[in-house]
């Protein structure tokens, strides 16, 4: 399927599976509908969808699992933007929902997305053998809980109370950004019952991708290197939040990004050589990831020239 077809289908699926129903309070419904209708680039949903198809799930089940992971992501964005967290004003070029519908409706919409995400994920894994289902539940617990997204966000918010060095920045990036890739890569890969070697490689890939994406985001947050991402920028310094480019300097952060990209390339190549069922990861890496890294590094080089 062409990428644009997939995006269209996933965008429709996100609206169809949204947690709304009869008698829902209008503000809550508005936050849910607006969030589901403006889902960004769907990187994680497309990765999950590709994994599910590669691992033999039917289209409807693949879409459900893709929606599940995207809903977890959406929920984390809604909460991260709250005044008591990042106090963001805009997201994806639009006013944040809490500014339009209030904090309470935004928190409740986030919970509704999480709840529906669990329902969809559980449904997609329901026909699997017990060992796969138990591994899947443990994976969600690790990625979403205090060792993953929730724990990462807590460290992120209290970053100013810690050492503030590159190591502390990396710990937050592992728990937040790498955990989201883990959800999008390792979680659906459990359907294929990967070998221990494959599982190790998949986890390493998530680490490289996650840290690289966070480095991209951090470089993007530095006003001098920022493009128009539709997000509030330059806030990491202001809010004393973890930022690799602030901790290491822009040149060293760029060097690290290049190294992470090379490590990711080596890992997907190894996975692809192990088994053709991992070809979708190499495809994603080449068409999407490398493109993004190159664009940022080229743009920075042009500005430096």
Is 63 or 198 the residue whose CB approaches a second copy more closely?
63
User: Binding of a second copy at residue 138 (CB under 8 A)?
Assistant: yes
Query: What are phi and psi for residue 83, nearest 5 degrees?
Result: -55, -35
Q: Which is nearer to a second copy, 79 or 212 (CB)?
A: 79
Chain positions 69 to 98 lying near a second copy, rule: CB under 8 A, are 79, 82, 84-85
Minimal distance, residue 85 CB to a second copy, in Å: 5
**Least distance to a second copy, CB of residue 4, Å:** 31
Interface region with a second copy, contact rule CB under 8 A, candidates 124-132, 230-238, 248-256, 264-272:
124-132
Binding-site member from 48, 140, 178, 248 for a second copy (CB under 8 A): 140
Applying CB under 8 A, the span of 148-156, 233-241, 242-250, 268-276 interacting with a second copy comes to 148-156
Return contacts of 165-171, CB within 8 angstroms, 24+ apart: 165/247, 166/244, 166/247, 166/248, 168/242, 168/247, 169/218, 169/242, 169/243, 169/244, 169/247, 170/211, 170/244
Q: Which of residues 19-58 bind a second copy (CB under 8 A)?
A: 19-29, 32
- 68 contacts a second copy (rule: CB under 8 A): no
145 interacts with a second copy by CB under 8 A: yes
Residues of this chain that interact with a second copy (CB under 8 A) are: 19-29, 32, 79, 82, 84-85, 102-105, 107-108, 111-112, 114-116, 118-119, 122-123, 126-127, 130, 133-134, 137-138, 140-141, 144-147, 150-151, 153-155, 157-158, 171
């Amino acid at each position: 399927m062409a990428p644009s077809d997939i995006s269209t289908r996933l965008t429709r699926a996100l609206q169809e599976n949204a947690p709304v129903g009869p008698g829902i309070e209008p503000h809550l419904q508005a936050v849910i509908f607006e969030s589901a209708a403006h889902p960004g680039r769907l990187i994680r949903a497309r990765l999950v969808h590709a994994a599910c198809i590669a691992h033999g799930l039917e289209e409807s089940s693949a879409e459900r699992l893709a929606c599940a992971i995207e809903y977890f992501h959406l929920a984390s964005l809604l909460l991260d933007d709250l005044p008591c967290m990042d106090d963001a004003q805009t997201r994806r070029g639009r006013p944040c929902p809490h500014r339009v519908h209030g904090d309470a409706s935004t928190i409740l919409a986030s919970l509704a997305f999480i709840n529906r995400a669990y329902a969809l994920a559980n449904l997609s894994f329901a026909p699997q053998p017990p060992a796969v289902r138990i591994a899947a539940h443990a994976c969600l617990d690790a990625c979403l809980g205090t060792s993953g997204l929730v724990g990462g966000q807590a460290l992120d918010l209290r970053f100013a109370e810690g050492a503030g060095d590159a190591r502390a920045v990396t710990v937050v990036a592992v728990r937040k950004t790498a955990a989201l890739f883990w959800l999008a890569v390792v979680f659906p890969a459990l359907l294929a019952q990967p070998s221990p070697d494959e599982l190790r490689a998949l986890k390493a890939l998530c680490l490289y991708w996650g840290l690289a994406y966070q480095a991209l985001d951090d470089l993007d947050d530095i006003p001098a290197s920022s493009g128009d991402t539709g997000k509030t920028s330059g806030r990491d310094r202001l809010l004393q939040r973890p930022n690799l480019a602030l901790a290491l300097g822009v040149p060293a952060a760029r060097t690290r990004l290049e190294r992470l990209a090379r490590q990711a390339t080596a890992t997907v190549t190894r996975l692809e050589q192990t088994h053709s069922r991992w070809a979708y990861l190499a495809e994603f890496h080449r068409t999407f990831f490398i493109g993004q890294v190159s664009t940022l590094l080229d743009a920075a080089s042009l500005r430096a020239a």
